[in-house]
Homo-oligomer: A and B are copies of this chain.
């Protein structure tokens, strides 16, 4: 595919469209009285060339799996993205005036409430990971022609997450990915640290495995050529490093500080007039529509619904199996039944047991190395447009590294499944840096999330199966130590449905535990029984949603006396989840046992006792609660 210089008319049209996009960015932010017109202006030519010369887009079905992907990582430039789609013909240009209004989905930052947006952006530094995930799927699974483009701000390129993703893209030779850096020199509150040192950007990107091109970001011809070069570059992703100016072509605003995130106010009319003067064609001539993806090699039709384990759990009651191991087993079984089940891990696959999938389907395992932000972002990208069912694993506590990505995942309406092993003090000697003790709090606070905390191997396998079929962010918390199988292989587990695992008509107190603490509850109940105290025990299975009905009903049956015990800090975990479902109930008292402080290294059983969550402490809590 040799390069043909575009005709003069094409070049002029692209220039004109860039100015029209600038004008829309001004008028829409004038209407909303907030927004970032100057950050739009720096990418006006980039957007014009992308949308009206490069991208293959399906206006009838913007999420066509075979069309090119575009991610605006610098989400605050949303107005120009909306303007580009409007100029492309997806919706009326006058709708742009609804920017940021309460009843418009043209929000301050893009979200998939809009049918042409794949992921929410606006928290910076996340777009490249998502784009890399899409590109990985396009190259390795879909094996289709579509390409992935992402526009990154220079300010956000200070985010380490960007460099994780660039390294990932370089390592996996994602030549269907093109990252465009908008180097407009100015951050929010001062110039960026690298300002217009284009050569430093070039050196860094070259060293990170990219074909790196420095261009004048306001020269549409250079951009057309660079994007063509990107499309024919093999075995390497391309970085187009565009030297631009914030507020370009805005007189007395261009390249000046203190214009970040501000509408132009009383300068708007003058600037618009100036821009109109720069337009050579008719100011209201309709743009040619974007190219179509119809002639590209199409992405295959895939079905990621209704995925089942290839065989039911196969354990003996009482068998000692770690839930983290059951996760690996179930993951492999799911993968056997659907070739779009994939696993991603951050170099912990032999601890989380995601390597069980790699062993049977090596091509469906994506090693993301020790870079959890990119790990989460790649998974979110891979799951876009329902191309894959992605399971992401690492130690539970290392997901704290990707909290912002997971948070944005919820805004992005992602369906990614996160599996965190090595929760709590029960991991033992490795010590507090490796212990997940805030992971439930984190994942519960993700809107629309489902939080599984399986206690045995059977329920863990079912959790994996359920997660694969559940919308939104799912989190499965797995444990390092072996625990006894307590459920039959055919027992039915369901989201929001707990199980009463021990009961008698004489019960005086309700114990709630999960993972290793469920067994501490059972041991405590057995011990208490010897002294004539009868305790009912519930396994909640999912912490969110929590089975309110079961807890209220059984709690009431034992006189409103509840003990909750968890291998997690006090805040935001199982205990507070139980308190939330009991909030509007009178006559309940809850005794909550949790890890009260930073733990330390030591044998698991010693730590469980030292930090107050062993059977001995449950027994003491029961004695206390019987007095309340």
Interface residues of A (CB under 8 A from B): 32, 34-35, 75, 100-102, 104-105, 107-109, 111, 113, 120-125, 155-156, 158-164, 167, 171, 187-190, 192-193, 200, 203-204, 206-208, 345, 347-351, 355, 367, 369-374, 397-398, 400-401, 403-404, 407-408, 410-411, 428-434, 437-438, 441-442, 444-448, 544, 560, 569-572, 575-577, 579-580, 582-592, 596-598, 600-603, 606-607, 610, 625, 628
Instruction: Determine which of B167, B206, B400, B408 lies in contact with A403 in the assembled complex, contact meaning CB atoms within 8 Å.
Output: B400
Instruction: Determine which of B75, B348, B431 lies in contact with A433 in the assembled complex, contact meaning CB atoms within 8 Å.
Output: B75
Residues in chain B near residue A408, CB distance under 8 A: 433
Residues in chain B near residue A35, CB distance under 8 A: 429
Do A433 and B411 form a contact, CB below 8 Å, given A349-B189, A371-B160, A602-B100? yes
A600 → B minimal CB distance (Å): 6
Query: Can you list 12 A-B pairs, Cβ within 8 angstroms, ordered by A?
Result: A75-B433, A101-B601, A107-B431, A107-B432, A188-B347, A203-B203, A403-B442, A445-B572, A447-B569, A447-B597, A571-B577, A585-B589
Instruction: Determine which of B124, B206, B584 lies in contact with A590 in the assembled complex, contact meaning CB atoms within 8 Å.
Output: B584
7 A-B pairs closest in CB distance: A160-B160, A122-B433, A572-B572, A102-B602, A107-B601, A579-B579, A438-B445
Q: Are A600 and B107 in contact (CB under 8 A)?
A: yes
Q: Are A101 and B403 in contact (CB under 8 A)?
A: no
Q: Are A370 and B102 in contact (CB under 8 A)?
A: no
Q: Are A158 and B370 in contact (CB under 8 A)?
A: yes
Smallest Cβ-Cβ distance to A367: which chain B residue: B190
Smallest Cβ-Cβ distance to A570: which chain B residue: B580
Do A432 and B111 form a contact, CB below 8 Å, given A160-B161, A187-B370? yes
A565 → B minimal CB distance (Å): 13
How far is it, in angstroms, between the C-alpha of A193 and the C-alpha of B123 when the chains are bound?
A: 28
Residue of A164, A193, A571 ringed by the most chain B CB atoms within 10 A: A571
Instruction: Determine which of B373, B572, B587, B602 lies in contact with A586 in the assembled complex, contact meaning CB atoms within 8 Å.
Output: B587
Q: Are B583 and A592 in contact (CB under 8 A)?
A: yes
Do A162 and B160 form a contact, CB below 8 Å, given A109-B431, A122-B433, A171-B193? yes
A532 → B minimal CB distance (Å): 24
Q: Are A347 and B190 in contact (CB under 8 A)?
A: yes
Q: Are B156 and A370 in contact (CB under 8 A)?
A: yes
Residues in chain B near residue A371, CB distance under 8 A: 158-160
Smallest Cβ-Cβ distance to A121: which chain B residue: B433
Q: Are A123 and B598 in contact (CB under 8 A)?
A: no
Residues in chain B near residue A207, CB distance under 8 A: 200, 203-204, 206-207
Query: Copies per complex?
Result: 2
Q: With contacts A441-B444, A584-B628 known, what are 8 further pairs, Cβ within 8 A?
A: A123-B397, A444-B572, A445-B571, A560-B586, A572-B572, A575-B580, A576-B580, A586-B586
Residues in chain B near residue A206, CB distance under 8 A: 203, 207
A597 → B minimal CB distance (Å): 5
Q: Are A589 and B586 in contact (CB under 8 A)?
A: yes
Residues in chain B near residue A404, CB distance under 8 A: 397-398, 400-401, 403
Residue of A120, A447, A575, A590 ringed by the most chain B CB atoms within 10 A: A447
Instruction: Determine which of B122, B159, B171, B577 lies in contact with A164 in the assembled complex, contact meaning CB atoms within 8 Å.
Output: B159
How far is it, in angstroms, between the C-alpha of A109 and the C-alpha of B432 when the chains are bound?
A: 8
Residues in chain B near residue A121, CB distance under 8 A: 433
How far is it, in angstroms, between the C-alpha of A569 and the C-alpha of B571 when the chains are bound?
A: 14
How far is it, in angstroms, between the C-alpha of A193 and the C-alpha of B173 when the chains are bound?
A: 12
Residues in chain B near residue A347, CB distance under 8 A: 155, 187-190
Smallest Cβ-Cβ distance to A603: which chain B residue: B102
Q: Are B590 and A350 in contact (CB under 8 A)?
A: no
How far is it, in angstroms, between the C-alpha of A591 and the C-alpha of B347 when the chains are bound?
A: 44
Residues in chain B near residue A373, CB distance under 8 A: 160
Residues in chain B near residue A587, CB distance under 8 A: 586-587
Q: Are B572 and A583 in contact (CB under 8 A)?
A: no
How far is it, in angstroms, between the C-alpha of A194 and the C-alpha of B556 when the chains are bound?
A: 59
Do A610 and B102 form a contact, CB below 8 Å, given A430-B34, A433-B122? yes
Q: Are B592 and A369 in contact (CB under 8 A)?
A: no
Residue of A187, A348, A349, A597 ringed by the most chain B CB atoms within 10 A: A187
Q: Are B576 and A571 in contact (CB under 8 A)?
A: yes
How far is it, in angstroms, between the C-alpha of A576 and the C-alpha of B582 when the chains are bound?
A: 11
How far is it, in angstroms, between the C-alpha of A162 and the C-alpha of B163 when the chains are bound?
A: 10
Q: Are A433 and B109 in contact (CB under 8 A)?
A: yes
How far is it, in angstroms, between the C-alpha of A602 and the C-alpha of B35 when the chains are bound?
A: 12
Q: Are B188 and A348 in contact (CB under 8 A)?
A: yes
Residues in chain B near residue A350, CB distance under 8 A: 188-189
Q: Are B193 and A167 in contact (CB under 8 A)?
A: yes
Q: Are B597 and A448 in contact (CB under 8 A)?
A: yes
Do A602 and B429 form a contact, CB below 8 Å, given A160-B161, A193-B369? no
Do A572 and B441 form a contact, CB below 8 Å, given A123-B397, A404-B400? yes
Smallest Cβ-Cβ distance to A371: which chain B residue: B158
How far is it, in angstroms, between the C-alpha of A400 and the C-alpha of B121 when the chains are bound?
A: 15
Residues in chain B near residue A164, CB distance under 8 A: 158-160, 163
Q: Are A125 and B370 in contact (CB under 8 A)?
A: yes
Q: Are B370 and A441 in contact (CB under 8 A)?
A: no
Residues in chain B near residue A167, CB distance under 8 A: 158, 193
Q: Are B441 and A600 in contact (CB under 8 A)?
A: no
Residues in chain B near residue A580, CB distance under 8 A: 570-571, 575-576, 579, 592
